[in-house]
Chains A and B, each alone.
Chain A
Amino acid sequence: MEKTGHKVRVIALPSDWGTVLPLYRQLLSAHHPVADVLILDSTWIGALAPLLLDIPPTDDDAATRPPPFQVEGRHVALPWYRDIGLLFYRRDLLERYHLPVPTRWNDLERTATLIQNAEYQRGHPVWGYVWQGRTSESLVCNALEWDGAENPVGTDGTVRTSLPGLQRALERAARWIGTASPPGVLNYDEENARGIFQSGHAVFMRNWVYAWALANSPDSPVSGKIGVAPVPRDTQDAPSGIDGTVYLGIPRNTAHPAEALSLLHYLTSETAERHQALAGGYIPARTSLLDDPEIRSAIPILDTIRPALASLGLRPVAQTGIDYPRVSWIMANHFKDALRSTQSSRQTLTSLVSSLKQLAMLGQWTLSNSTIEKHTP
């Protein structure tokens, strides 16, 4: 850093995002960690919170959306850049059939089926909609974006016992499989879905921000023919894209807490976020930068997805804390059972609720105002 004279060594993370959390668990349990500032996916913070240093609140905290990540009232991580679930579409196909970009999930289903059938008759078989159905975190994101789908865990950490909206959403999505979506969608992750969409074999795709640049790269068959929009809204008229913000945090056992904090503040400063937005296309977490004309021209999709960025579709990470990876696993598996129709959505959700309740009892779900009774041995 030029300002302070300290040297920063950048340690590359493994390319497989899924292996980072176990790695961090090991690093943070060590006597001294090898890193002083950590890149944190929002889903890991609950599990790592007990091992992260408190970041003192500042006046600057209101300048970002989302705000600093809080666990049990402690600030443990600052947002670095935004990511969000988006709907990608084939502009050329929508134009050919004079159809608008769907803003409701039912419209999406109708539009997808219509174009799929029409294109089939023209001799160009395409799928209507590709998304992420593989049993993983991605499936949880997809399901919670469907309209009316309630979050099974409330913001105060209570387990909701009645999930009629989620049930309807799962039933509708189960209908897509083999009709609007390929049967293999239940095995797709982000890259599989992008493969189908980018090779021109799907009308719609749900994916994260990164897919935009790749699908528009010069060697992409659909380059220039695609558009992006917030995922269809839910009944409350709020865009429901799941928030995938990436945060920065400091391990509790760091040998250089002061320097780490100063680096953290620099990396999340306006200068640094502006630079990485212009150079790398990262969407800044600072809301003031979203209106910056230079950044808006560097990230052209910013204008269309701006309404989606304003709202935060949150997964129950903060509430379930240390148990979130397990909560996510249980949710993904239950959603999957409903989607492949091995069980009715109703039965599946009943079983999901009882599993989550059991977990809430055994676990240490963190919010102090949680209505769940703590398990006493």
Chain B
Amino acid sequence: MLTVPAPKRFDWRPWALVAPAMLVLMAVTAIPFARTIWLAFHDDPHGFMPAQPGWSLTNFRVLLQDRAWWTAVSTTLLFAAGAVISETCAGLAIAMLLQGYSLKLRGILLAVILLPWAVPSVVAARLWNWMLNDQYGIINALLVRLGLLHQGVAWTTHPHSMVAVMIVIDVWQATPFMALLSLAGLQSIPTDVFEAAQLDGASPWQRFISITLPLVAPVLSVAVLFRLLDALRMFDLASVLYGTDMSGMTLSAFVQSQIVQFGAPGYGAASALGTLGIIALAAVLYGVCLKIPGWIRSS
């Protein structure tokens, strides 16, 4: 028997069902975001803006000329690029090594490898800070004993080594995550593809480039996006290691110090919107980079 569809009538039930979710989203996201925009464009008695009514671009004009802000932008981008690229390469390499082991051994190794991922960033930063201490740190002690150094090096004082130290700690922490996701990606590749390639005489390198990489790419690219966004909002390492040193400040640390240390909510809001813009730009750029191989192939 055919059912005749009822005449279209406004049905409030689906709206009522999604309303709580919408309200929660409004409360936790939309309202604070709107407030941030309002603050960024308005009078800010504790910040840079002189008292004046109405909308103004002063916060953004100051931001564009702020040396500390641009240092934070370059530090953050350098850190994110350095950390994510190293983590992806190392993670994939570890995953390929692990794949060769038996299931039981792999489980044990994976658990061990995942330990740094379980350490909170703040704790990791403190740990590494002690290990890198110029007087009492184990790393300097080791290098001096091996004869590679004459006296302890203060690793966290020079701007370049400051970013490098952040990258090293992040790689130590996040490589397990990339290894885990890469392993999942590798396991989803059917083994008969490799067997066929081997029969046709493909070298291990050829198999890696033409089979492993393209097949693991979808999983890997999502993992890289996660890590990229995570790295771009890095706060803990910069804050714990370098405090208010401009040379080690990431964008999040910059925004936090404007609001909390200097009590400038308007300027802080403007820099937060700037940060959002930079993260969005980086994500779009990453999306474009992913599409390039496809364009090359189709043209």
**Nearest neighbor of A375 in chain B, beta-carbon distance:** B50
Contact between A134 and B261 (Cβ–Cβ < 8 Å)?
Answer: no
Contact between A184 and B50 (Cβ–Cβ < 8 Å)?
Answer: no
Q: Which among B56, B244, B264 has the greatest number of chain A C-beta atoms within 10 A?
A: B244
Contact between A201 and B260 (Cβ–Cβ < 8 Å)?
Answer: no
**Nearest neighbor of A359 in chain B, beta-carbon distance:** B48
Contact between B261 and A22 (Cβ–Cβ < 8 Å)?
Answer: yes
8 Å CB contacts to A: which residues of B246-278? 246-247, 257, 260-264
Contact between A182 and B134 (Cβ–Cβ < 8 Å)?
Answer: yes
Cross-chain contact of A135 among B58, B151, B245, B264 (Cβ < 8 A): B245
Interface segment out of the listed A208-216, A232-240, A332-340 = A332-340
8 Å CB contacts to A: which residues of B32-69? 45-46, 48, 50, 52, 56, 58, 62, 65, 67-68
8 Å CB contacts to B: which residues of A355-377? 355, 358, 362-364, 375-377
Asked if B159 is at the interface (CB within 8 A of a chain A CB), the reply is: yes
Q: Which residues of A contact B68 (CB under 8 A)?
A: 333
- A contact residues, total (Cβ < 8 Å): 35
Contact between B159 and A342 (Cβ–Cβ < 8 Å)?
Answer: yes
Contact between B260 and A22 (Cβ–Cβ < 8 Å)?
Answer: yes
Contact between B242 and A135 (Cβ–Cβ < 8 Å)?
Answer: yes
8 Å CB contacts to A: which residues of B225-243? 242-243
Q: Which residues of A contact B116 (CB under 8 A)?
A: none
Say how far B96's CB is from chain A's closest CB, in angstroms: 39
8 Å CB contacts to A: which residues of B114-155? 133-135, 151-154
Cross-chain contact of A186 among B67, B151, B157, B246 (Cβ < 8 A): B157
Q: Which residues of A contact B133 (CB under 8 A)?
A: 184
Contact between B67 and A136 (Cβ–Cβ < 8 Å)?
Answer: no
Say how far A359's CB is from chain B's closest CB, in angstroms: 8
Q: Which residues of B contact A281 (CB under 8 A)?
A: none
Cross-chain contact of B157 among A47, A184, A355, A376 (Cβ < 8 A): A184
Contact between B152 and A136 (Cβ–Cβ < 8 Å)?
Answer: no
Q: Which residues of B contact A196 (CB under 8 A)?
A: 135
Say how far B244's CB is from chain A's closest CB, in angstroms: 6
Asked if A25 is at the interface (CB within 8 A of a chain B CB), the reply is: yes
Asked if B156 is at the interface (CB within 8 A of a chain A CB), the reply is: yes
8 Å CB contacts to A: which residues of B156-174? 156-159
Q: Which residues of B contact A342 (CB under 8 A)?
A: 158-159, 247
Cross-chain contact of A183 among B153, B242, B245 (Cβ < 8 A): B153
Contact between B157 and A183 (Cβ–Cβ < 8 Å)?
Answer: yes
Known contacts A135-B243, A183-B152, A325-B262: does B157 contact A363 (CB below 8 Å)?
no
Contact between B50 and A326 (Cβ–Cβ < 8 Å)?
Answer: no
Alpha-carbon distance A342/B246, docked complex (angstroms)? 13
Say how far A45's CB is from chain B's closest CB, in angstroms: 14
Alpha-carbon distance A145/B222, docked complex (angstroms)? 54
Contact between A362 and B48 (Cβ–Cβ < 8 Å)?
Answer: yes
Q: Which residues of B contact A186 (CB under 8 A)?
A: 154, 157
Contact between B243 and A21 (Cβ–Cβ < 8 Å)?
Answer: no
Say how far A64's CB is from chain B's closest CB, in angstroms: 28
Contact between B56 and A377 (Cβ–Cβ < 8 Å)?
Answer: yes
Known contacts A135-B246, A184-B135; 8 additional CB pairs below 8 A are A25-B263, A134-B245, A136-B244, A183-B157, A325-B263, A362-B62, A376-B50, A377-B50
* Interface set of B (CB-CB < 8 Å, partner A): 45-46, 48, 50, 52, 56, 58, 62, 65, 67-68, 133-135, 151-154, 156-159, 242-247, 257, 260-264
What are the nearest 7 A-B pairs in CB distance? A184-B134, A135-B245, A183-B154, A184-B154, A186-B157, A22-B260, A333-B246
